[in-house]
A and B are shown apart, each in its own frame.
Chain A
Amino acid sequence: MSTPPAKIHNVPMGEGPSGRAPKGVGPARIGIYAFLVISALFFLLPLYVMIVTSIKPMEEIRLGGLFTLPTTITFEPWAKAWSSACTGLDCRGISPGFWNSVKILVPSVFCSIFVGALTGYALSFWRVRCANLLFAALLLGAFLPYQVFIYPLVRIYSATGLFSTIYALVLTHVIFGLPVMTLLFRNYYAGIPIDLFKAARVDGGRFFSIFFRLMLPMSIPMLVVAVILQVTGIWNDFIMGLTFGGLANRPMTVQLTNLVAPTEGEIAYNVNMAATIMTAAVPLIVYFVSGRWFVRGIAAGAVKG
């Protein structure tokens, strides 16, 4: 070095503190951890109760102590809940509900996301007359309580012979999934540079070809978010399944409420809780596997403009 001030290399270390400041664990820090741990226990409690109870034999449950760990572990309640627990005279467990839910879920998720993406795309890139009006009306669907729509829909489905079919449920999920899906994709496409769209137009792209060849492949992150959102939403649906599904197409949530409904004799809490865990399993697995994507879905579905 050409001009290091001479003193630099031999600075005597002065008196006083040097190096890392000692870090004490202050009371504030302890308070924060205590708050978090107590909250975590509160949130975990129900899951704990369900799991613990579902593997206890009935004799143990009768002794009381919902929160105690089991002394003997049994998986019989799980087996029973899945395939032999009775709802009235029907003793097939909760499994028919599970398969019904799957049958409803797959086409509903696919159709609702497709229609939502298409609508979001049309509204963000193309000049459409009354686009704002259409968008406002869509928001209505997102915000109004279902009770406003339900009775006329029942009549329409009855008149067209759709009532109590899978089709009615799929259509209903498309109808009520459309606003959030549209919003999701509209916001996503708003982040794509308009110049990209213009370039595609200049290259001769038409409405559908731009959508299928350019926008849909670019939307994969949003498609993942949409799938997460719709799978949890549709699986957790109760009111649509109850109203439009009829007896044959009851989704798992409806089946569950029937299964745990108090009947004569002793309530088999272990079986009920096993069935409940099974019903919660699909969205929970989606949640634990998807992690940050689920949070992204919430943020996107949080209807933020």
Chain B
Amino acid sequence: MSSVSIRNLQISFGVLNVLEKLNLEVEEGEFLVLLGPSGCGKSTLLNAIAGLLDIAEGQIWIGDRNVTWSEPHERGIGMVFQSYALYPRLTVEANLSFGLKMSGMPKAEIARRVSEAARILQLEPLLQRQPAQLSGGQRQRVAIGRALVRDAKVLLFDEPLSNLDAKLRTELRVEIKRLHKRLGSTMIFVTHDQVEALTLADRVAVMHKGVIQQLATPKEIYQRPVNRFVAGFVGSPQMNFLPGTLVRKDAGASFRLAGGSEIDLTGYEFSRPFHDRQNATLGLRPEQAQLRRSEQHSARLEAIFTIEEPMGPDTLLWGTLAGENFSVRISSDQAASIGAPIGIHVNIAQASLFDEAGDRL
């Protein structure tokens, strides 16, 4: 178990700076997820931590060692790849032991570690098979095993579940979480899948264009996104965005929609001051708007829904509100009238407001 510390990291490919002045502290035993769309620099960052690409500036510390110039195998890390990267034409057992053998470890110790990893990952019946004879999920477990036998203090995962089908992905996700509980090692996990990020992480770092947009717990990321990018990227269906203006009132403030209707903002916690008549965007997650009024609901809006999608436990309604596309998630026991204006209720304390630059207000 080691902490990982990235200090003022800069990485350039040619003249293009992929990461610039990036700082990140990962605590001992923490499960950190790097989340972002492709090309956001998350895999680049992970590869830099692993020592697989040259950094232009800055330092990388693992535990109390500065590993900026260390070779990948000297860093005390294990890494799991999206394509599994199992050595072809070697059995599972040989795959697990290959690196240890090449480093000249005594045979007994290799055998102990391999059988330990095989036991943890339930690979025992597969040890004599070749990678080509394994399913995707089994291959990825072998790849994880290869990281485990290295007795790594830090485990790095580069989109390890992306090549698997939906069912296996869920299974292996749970397995990785269980593994983290059991081993307690520091894990850094790269993904573009928000469900993986929210379910696995102690903390999520949402990245975009080479910059960490927000580093926080999954709950915080979901409920209090710091900007429109994070708000839009996390959550499915996407957060609804309603443009309008902020109006200062004697006691507090209200939000005036493009259509003219006003929402009282009492209960919304502003994170910084705003000024009167400022353009802003109101962000509402589909489940933050409801058809039935309850105590927390402080505002009422009018929407027209045109499509109903029953999802099983809940139902999605798609339509428009004040001229903008709008969706609402209701529990499946409720019924909604389609095609006619309908009132919806909003808990403004849970909503998000963004200024014109997209930053949270």
Contacts and interface: CB of A to CB of B under 8 A. Distances in A.
Given A1-B214, A2-B226, A7-B25, A17 B66 contact: yes
B54 A4 contact: no
Contact of B59 (A3, A5, A14): A14
A18 B214 contact: no
Q: On chain B, which size bracket covers the interface?
A: 20 to 34
Contacts of A3: 214-216, 220
Given A11-B5, A17-B68, A4 B58 contact: no
B35 to A, nearest CB: 15
Interface string A5-27: 10111010111111111000000
Contacts of A5: 25, 215
Contacts of B236: none
A17 B271 contact: no
Contacts of A9: 23
A7 to B, nearest CB: 7
B224 interface: yes
Nearest to A7: B25
B344 to A, nearest CB: 27
B192 interface: no
Contacts of A13: 7-8, 59
Interface residues of A, number: 18
A11 B9 CA distance: 12
A18 B224 contact: no
Contact of B271 (A2, A4, A19, A21): A2
Contacts of B220: 2-3
A270 B46 CA distance: 62
A16 B66 CA distance: 7
B226 A18 contact: no
A300 B232 CA distance: 47
Given A8-B25, A11-B7, A18 B68 contact: yes
A176 B205 CA distance: 63
A20 B57 contact: yes
A181 B23 CA distance: 58
Contacts, number: 61
Contact of A15 (B5, B8, B66, B271): B66
A80 B166 CA distance: 74
A11 B57 contact: no
Contacts of B213: 1
B321 interface: no
Interface string B40-70: 0000000000000011111101000010110
B7 A17 contact: no
Contact of B55 (A1, A2, A14, A20): A20
A2 B66 contact: no
Contacts of A8: 23-25
- Looking at B8, B56, B69, which has the most chain A CB atoms within 10 Å of its CB? B69
B150 interface: no
Nearest to A22: B69
Nearest to A2: B226
A128 to B, nearest CB: 32
Nearest to A18: B59
A17 B59 contact: yes
Nearest to B12: A20
A70 to B, nearest CB: 43
A105 B151 CA distance: 65
A15 B7 CA distance: 12
Given A13-B8, A17-B66, A4 B215 contact: yes
Contact of A19 (B57, B61, B224, B226): B57
Given A2-B220, A7-B25, A19 B58 contact: yes
A89 B171 CA distance: 86
A3 B23 CA distance: 14
Interface string B193-219: 000000000000000000001111000
A17 B216 contact: no
B7 A21 contact: no
A14 B7 contact: yes
A5 B7 CA distance: 14
A305 to B, nearest CB: 18
B360 interface: yes
Contact of B56 (A4, A11, A15, A19): A19
Interface string B220-244: 1000101000000000000000000
Interface string A128-140: 0000000000000
A2 B224 contact: yes
Given A3-B215, A11-B5, A18-B59, 17 more contacts: A1-B214, A1-B226, A2-B360, A4-B215, A5-B25, A7-B25, A11-B7, A13-B8, A13-B59, A14-B7, A14-B59, A19-B56, A19-B57, A20-B54, A20-B55, A20-B56, A21-B54
Q: Which 8 A-B pairs have the closest CB atoms?
A: A16-B66, A21-B69, A17-B69, A17-B68, A3-B216, A19-B57, A18-B59, A11-B7
12 contacts: A2-B360, A3-B220, A8-B23, A11-B5, A11-B25, A13-B8, A14-B59, A16-B68, A17-B59, A17-B66, A19-B55, A21-B69
